Chain A
Amino acid sequence: MIINHPILGPRDAQEFTYLGDASLINRPDWQADDAAKQFYDYQYLRDNPAGEHRELWFHEQGDRSWLVVTRNTVTHEISKVELASDVARKEGRSK
């Protein structure tokens, strides 16, 4: 597979390390009343869709960016690649 790195251009997926669903960005609030339930859901449950999947890849043998790759799990077609830090900010994460 080839991942079109937003900064570096097309790179063989072999340069990257895969983590999983990009929902891992949305780490719950540790002080929420139901934090235990939220963390369980965050850590263990997955949509695991057949189709479009937003997922985290780390450019381990490259610039060490975490990327959010939108990829179809049936065809492996990649439709979007973003810097995970940009996505995280968009989703309201800061410090």
Chain B
Amino acid sequence: MTQKNRLTGGLIDHTKPLEFKFDGKSYQGYEGDTLASALLANDVRLMGRSFKYHRPRGPLTAGSEEPNAIIELRTGNRQEPNTRATTAELYDGLTANSQNRWPSLRRDFMAINDRFSQFFAAGFYYKTFMWPAAFWEKVYEPIIRKAAGLGSLSMEADPDAYDKGFLHCDLLIIGAGPAGLSAALTAGRAGARVILSEEDYICGGRLNSETNALDDMSGAEWALQTLAELQSLPNVRIMTRTTVIGAYDHGIYGAVERVSDHMAVPADGAPRQTLWRIYSKQALLCAGSTERPIAFENNDRPGIMLGGAVRSYVNRWAATPAQEIAIFTNNDDGHRTAADLTAKGVKVSAIIDTRTDAPTSEHATVLAGAKVKDSLGRLGVKQLSVELADGSIRNVSCEAVAVSGGWNPNVHMTCHQRGRPTWHENISAFVPGPDGPPGLSVAGSAAGIMSTHGALTSGAKSAVSALKSIGIKAKAIRTPKAEDAPVNLQPYWYVKGGNGRAWLDQQNDVTVKDVKLAHQENFRSVEHLKRYTTLGMATDQGKTSNMGGLAIMAELAGKSIPEVGTTIFRPPYTPTSMGVLGGRAVGKDFHPTRKTPSHFWAEEQGAVFVEVGNWLRAQWFPKAGETHWRQSVDREVLATRKSVGVCDVTTLGKVDVQGTDAAEFLNKIYCNGFAKLAVGKTRYGLMLREDGIAMDDGTAGRLAEDHFVVTTTTANAVSVYRHMEFCRQCLWPDMDVQLISTTESWAQYAVAGPNSRKLLEKIVDSEFDISNEAFPFMACGEVTVCGGLRARLFRISFSGELAYEIAVPTRYGDAMIRKLMEAGKEFDVVPYGTEALGVMRIEKGHAAGNELNGTTTALNLGMGRMVSKKKDSIGSILSERVGLNEDDALMQVGFKPVDNKEPVIAGSHLMAKTGEVNAKTDQGYITSAAYSPILESSIGIGFLKDGGNRKGEILRAVNPLKNQTVLVEVVSAHFVDPEGERLRA
């Protein structure tokens, strides 16, 4: 377990060794390492394979922009595909495996693709695999799909928890590098509420990777010192391991905190990650910049990486990628790399500098005006072929290459609201444009200010002006003396000449040739380029590759880079786990569960429950010996129709309507009349939408001149209330009417059956006369029950039986059901569930959700005459449109099978008894069906063209999904007690 490439120093703890495994082999690293730095320290450069050609790959970067070193982290149900080794923090016992290779990383069978790469040029798949037609799904696609993809999921449910939280601040600072730290200190000292977020696990950004001094401290020391002061300020919240993923409207930012990703498993009770929604008054982007490579032939071999990354590995992680490193640069950064490597005792084989006027170096030979033509080395770079200024070729041996092509400001967040970056000639890069999200300013190298001094001062200044805009006075901190070198760069995107492949997008295997081919085929918009070649569509979203592609496009088109433009930056900034976006809304907690007041009692009875929206309702109450749900339901129906049954109907929406204009208000929202409803009476009401289609139905009871109680269906409780408030506030604002939803305030039970009155007489206090004379069908009133408890009683019936609904304050709901069942014992009372409720309403022909499906009118429902033409009510005008009133309009009717042993199936379509069966001969459909134990037959209701005039006709109900055809007779939908004698009894 030697760490061959481990150096001294760095920001790792050499006293805390950590064991880990990669592809089954054990290694040792230190606390503070990433997986990539630890592997490099162990002289492992090969960490992955590319997407298309399965080329061997090592890390290109040392951060979240990594395209190559992506691995499967952890095992079992925590397996996490496509994890960047460059950001995965090492912990003791970490297990990682390479991905997208078979059988092993070193010997990957699919690398055969690389041999045939000329056949796999950009977009080749659009031009072939078309013959024979059937082969796409059967042959070509399965092979392609299997070969494609990157890492794999465990296919097991994620065992970890995820949280969501909300934060508020005056100033959100995104990134804790020099600019962010100096901004945070400036704002923190001013007393502003500050959130400082940092994607890394330590603050400091490039200060941790560079050797430049700040005053007399190292950058890392200054960062630590600044952090210490920030930590002492109660108004500053420092969030490391936190990536701001997107800039949303009105100062809202999404951020993901990786709470436990640096541990084997989350601590007890802790989430793996937390999604924060941050509400900021101002935000300051200090996200730094990303270095870009220079493309050359075979520039993708393990060991070839960005110069800044090499400095990070050497300086911060004390891990050199190799013992001998060559440098390829177009700017002074390459020389900085040479100095740092030399200082650490790593040999620099040469500085290949594209600039003919390149400065000299005391650390290595500078090959000015030279360029790298090619590289060698199967599983890792061994040698570079360099074309010198005079055109001669020199071979440079090396085991790693540090490539510096300049830096691109991380403008992403400024473009999340469709802002466009602008071109900055001095640094040959895009910088944030003027049209970024309101309230977001930019500082440091994210703004194109590339020196440490510039970052520090611009951070402080930007914090002052951001706070000023929200009325907080702040004073810029004194910034330490720091490096302030100008950017000295010669734009250089790719090395020309040669016939080989030079990679731009390393993960997706997009080469310079592919870009040229796209141009040749007239894919000349940046978006066409991206989509045709897949440039920038990999897991790094082109952070290191897009600029190269744009530059080549510009060259081919004879345009400037800004004229070519960029593709659109979209959230999230870095890939974000689905788990954290889902938060706690998983499994049974996906939606809240609403339970009725009788729920616990029903549970005690062994009820079977069913989801009705967010409610759980008792579906039926099985008794001992009942083995099929139909036995329970039939029993409940028969017992109710024979004696008495009780059903919890609390879920029905209830709206209290009060005020002197309450009656007139209801008159407007129901299509039928309500103005003259007497106090103490209830009426069925049908609400239309303004387009004349039925919206909902229910009852409204008038408890007093100025007081109504409206009920809605369970499904529409919320939307009907919303609609009523719309009518009240937006249409008739001066009506004296007040509304409040009381769905949750009252527990309501239907008590139905011939003995329902007898039962209720035992419950309702004796001073209230509920005899048929005193309290007839459709009566309502406020009563007391059980010796003084206030209650509301409605004599309404969904079942068609003599029935009541009794409502008590919700907190008495449990007591009430127990009382009802107790009092009902002598009548053999049964509780019945939604299933029996449904059977009885179908037997009675009452419309419910299946009939009120949002396309049916009052006419369709057989209630056309209810729509009053004498008043203004919602929907009445548009209900008169010709298309809704055709002669053969669908009408709700009932259906009985000719042979009562056959089932009526909801969803069947209605066809003439003979003739063709197809869409053109379709005459309607069955909406609801049930087995009626009273009629001992399956029955259904549904809509039939001109149905009202076709009673007695025999039709076919066809269900081609199951190859079923049932002969049915058209009947009245009122199967039971059509005259309504029972409910008036």
A/B: CB atoms within 8 Å of each other: yes
B279 adjacent to A64 (CB under 8 Å) = no
A39 adjacent to B730 (CB under 8 Å) = no
A25 adjacent to B730 (CB under 8 Å) = yes
Answer whether A19 and B877 are a contact pair too, CB < 8 Å, given A2-B250, A60-B718.
no
Per the bound structure, the CA–CA distance linking A31 and B726 in Å amounts to 21
Query: Who on chain A is nearest to B689 by CB?
Result: A43
B876 CB contacts on chain A under 8 angstroms? 30
A35 adjacent to B250 (CB under 8 Å) = no
A93 adjacent to B733 (CB under 8 Å) = yes
A27 adjacent to B731 (CB under 8 Å) = yes
The proximity string for A residues 49-67 relative to B, scoring 1 for CB distances below 8 Å and 0 otherwise, is 0000000101010001110
A30 CB contacts on chain B under 8 angstroms? 872, 876-877
Which of B251, B252, B718, B729 counts the most A-chain CB atoms under 10 A from its CB? B729
Query: Who on chain A is nearest to B869 by CB?
Result: A30
Per the bound structure, the CA–CA distance linking A27 and B880 in Å amounts to 17
Asked whether B722 is an interface residue with its Cβ less than 8 Å from the other chain, the reply is yes
Per the bound structure, the CA–CA distance linking A31 and B869 in Å amounts to 11
Which of B252, B661, B878 counts the most A-chain CB atoms under 10 A from its CB? B878
A85 adjacent to B877 (CB under 8 Å) = no
Interface residues of B in 705-755 (CB under 8 A from A): 718, 722, 725-726, 729-735
Q: Which of A39, A40, A66, A95 contacts B735 (CB 8 A)?
A: A95
Answer whether A58 and B878 are a contact pair too, CB < 8 Å, given A93-B731, A93-B733, A95-B735.
no
Per the bound structure, the CA–CA distance linking A59 and B911 in Å amounts to 47
Answer whether A36 and B880 are a contact pair too, CB < 8 Å, given A76-B249, A93-B733, A94-B732.
yes
B250 adjacent to A88 (CB under 8 Å) = no
B279 adjacent to A39 (CB under 8 Å) = no
Instruction: Return A75 CB to nearest CB of chain B, in Å.
Output: 8
Query: Who on chain A is nearest to B874 by CB?
Result: A27
Query: Who on chain A is nearest to B664 by CB?
Result: A95
B729 adjacent to A88 (CB under 8 Å) = yes
Asked whether B19 is an interface residue with its Cβ less than 8 Å from the other chain, the reply is no
A58 CB contacts on chain B under 8 angstroms? 722, 725-726
Instruction: Return B661 CB to nearest CB of chain A, in Å.
Output: 7
B14 CB contacts on chain A under 8 angstroms? none
Per the bound structure, the CA–CA distance linking A43 and B690 in Å amounts to 7
B250 adjacent to A25 (CB under 8 Å) = no
Per the bound structure, the CA–CA distance linking A9 and B863 in Å amounts to 45
Which of A28, A31, A88 counts the most B-chain CB atoms under 10 A from its CB? A88
Instruction: Return B610 CB to nearest CB of chain A, in Å.
Output: 26
Asked whether A79 is an interface residue with its Cβ less than 8 Å from the other chain, the reply is no
Instruction: Return B441 CB to nearest CB of chain A, in Å.
Output: 17
Per the bound structure, the CA–CA distance linking A43 and B718 in Å amounts to 22
A64 adjacent to B872 (CB under 8 Å) = no
Instruction: Return B96 CB to nearest CB of chain A, in Å.
Output: 38
Asked whether B819 is an interface residue with its Cβ less than 8 Å from the other chain, the reply is no
Per the bound structure, the CA–CA distance linking A39 and B876 in Å amounts to 10
Asked whether B691 is an interface residue with its Cβ less than 8 Å from the other chain, the reply is yes
Instruction: Return A4 CB to nearest CB of chain B, in Å.
Output: 9
Q: Which of B661, B690, B729 contacts A85 (CB 8 A)?
A: B729
A89 CB contacts on chain B under 8 angstroms? 733-734
Asked whether B881 is an interface residue with its Cβ less than 8 Å from the other chain, the reply is yes
A39 adjacent to B690 (CB under 8 Å) = yes
Answer whether A1 and B249 are a contact pair too, CB < 8 Å, given A66-B726, A94-B734, A95-B661.
yes
A43 CB contacts on chain B under 8 angstroms? 690-691, 878
Per the bound structure, the CA–CA distance linking A85 and B735 in Å amounts to 11
A65 CB contacts on chain B under 8 angstroms? 729
Answer whether A64 and B877 are a contact pair too, CB < 8 Å, given A93-B733, A94-B733.
no
Asked whether B254 is an interface residue with its Cβ less than 8 Å from the other chain, the reply is no
Query: Who on chain B is nearest to A37 by CB?
Result: B877
Per the bound structure, the CA–CA distance linking A35 and B879 in Å amounts to 12
A17 CB contacts on chain B under 8 angstroms? 722
A64 adjacent to B733 (CB under 8 Å) = no
Asked whether A69 is an interface residue with its Cβ less than 8 Å from the other chain, the reply is no
B735 CB contacts on chain A under 8 angstroms? 95
A19 CB contacts on chain B under 8 angstroms? 726
Instruction: Return B433 CB to nearest CB of chain A, in Å.
Output: 15
Query: Who on chain A is nearest to B878 by CB?
Result: A39
Q: How large is the interface on A (under 10, 10 to 19, 20 to 34, 35 or more residues)?
A: 35 or more
Interface residues of B in 854-879 (CB under 8 A from A): 872, 876-878
Per the bound structure, the CA–CA distance linking A19 and B722 in Å amounts to 10
Asked whether A81 is an interface residue with its Cβ less than 8 Å from the other chain, the reply is no
Instruction: Return B851 CB to nearest CB of chain A, in Å.
Output: 23
B661 adjacent to A84 (CB under 8 Å) = no
Interface residues of B in 679-698 (CB under 8 A from A): 690-691
Interface residues of B in 580-598 (CB under 8 A from A): none
Asked whether B438 is an interface residue with its Cβ less than 8 Å from the other chain, the reply is yes
B248 CB contacts on chain A under 8 angstroms? 1
Per the bound structure, the CA–CA distance linking A53 and B44 in Å amounts to 59
Interface residues of A in 1-55 (CB under 8 A from B): 1-2, 12, 17, 19, 24-25, 27-28, 30-31, 35-36, 39-40, 42-43
Answer whether A40 and B722 are a contact pair too, CB < 8 Å, given A66-B729, A88-B730, A93-B733.
no
Per the bound structure, the CA–CA distance linking A93 and B733 in Å amounts to 7
Instruction: Return B110 CB to nearest CB of chain A, in Å.
Output: 46
Per the bound structure, the CA–CA distance linking A43 and B691 in Å amounts to 7
Per the bound structure, the CA–CA distance linking A65 and B878 in Å amounts to 27
Instruction: Return B374 CB to nearest CB of chain A, in Å.
Output: 50
A12 CB contacts on chain B under 8 angstroms? 252
Per the bound structure, the CA–CA distance linking A15 and B802 in Å amounts to 43
The proximity string for B residues 377-389 relative to A, scoring 1 for CB distances below 8 Å and 0 otherwise, is 0000000000000
Which of B664, B733, B881 counts the most A-chain CB atoms under 10 A from its CB? B733
Q: Which of B279, B731, B878 contacts A2 (CB 8 A)?
A: B279
A1 CB contacts on chain B under 8 angstroms? 248-250, 252
Per the bound structure, the CA–CA distance linking A40 and B881 in Å amounts to 10
Per the bound structure, the CA–CA distance linking A66 and B727 in Å amounts to 10
B731 adjacent to A25 (CB under 8 Å) = yes
B734 CB contacts on chain A under 8 angstroms? 89, 93-95
Instruction: Return B696 CB to nearest CB of chain A, in Å.
Output: 17
A60 adjacent to B722 (CB under 8 Å) = yes
Per the bound structure, the CA–CA distance linking A31 and B872 in Å amounts to 8
B664 CB contacts on chain A under 8 angstroms? 95
B250 CB contacts on chain A under 8 angstroms? 1-2, 76, 78
Per the bound structure, the CA–CA distance linking A25 and B880 in Å amounts to 22
A40 CB contacts on chain B under 8 angstroms? 878
Q: Which of B251, B691, B725, B880 contacts A66 (CB 8 A)?
A: B725
Instruction: Return A89 CB to nearest CB of chain B, in Å.
Output: 5
Per the bound structure, the CA–CA distance linking A78 and B251 in Å amounts to 12
B730 adjacent to A56 (CB under 8 Å) = yes
Per the bound structure, the CA–CA distance linking A35 and B692 in Å amounts to 14
Per the bound structure, the CA–CA distance linking A25 and B877 in Å amounts to 17
Per the bound structure, the CA–CA distance linking A76 and B718 in Å amounts to 27
A64 CB contacts on chain B under 8 angstroms? 725
Instruction: Return A59 CB to nearest CB of chain B, in Å.
Output: 10
A85 CB contacts on chain B under 8 angstroms? 729-730, 733
Per the bound structure, the CA–CA distance linking A17 and B718 in Å amounts to 11
Answer whether A84 and B690 are a contact pair too, CB < 8 Å, given A39-B878, A95-B735.
no
B729 CB contacts on chain A under 8 angstroms? 65-66, 83-85, 88
A39 adjacent to B877 (CB under 8 Å) = yes
Per the bound structure, the CA–CA distance linking A94 and B733 in Å amounts to 5
Answer whether A36 and B881 are a contact pair too, CB < 8 Å, given A43-B691, A95-B732.
yes
Instruction: Return A46 CB to nearest CB of chain B, in Å.
Output: 14
In the A-B complex, the 5 residue pairs with the closest CB atoms: A85-B733, A94-B734, A2-B250, A30-B872, A66-B729
7 sample A-B contacts, Cβ–Cβ < 8 Å, listed by A number: A40-B878, A56-B726, A66-B726, A66-B730, A75-B417, A85-B733, A93-B730
* A-B contacts besides A86-B733, A93-B733, A95-B664, 17 pairs, CB < 8 Å: A1-B249, A2-B252, A2-B279, A27-B731, A31-B872, A36-B878, A36-B881, A39-B878, A43-B691, A58-B726, A60-B718, A66-B730, A78-B250, A85-B733, A94-B732, A94-B733, A95-B735
B residues whose Cβ falls under 8 Å from a Cβ of A: 248-252, 279, 417, 438, 661, 664, 690-691, 718, 722, 725-726, 729-735, 872, 876-878, 880-881
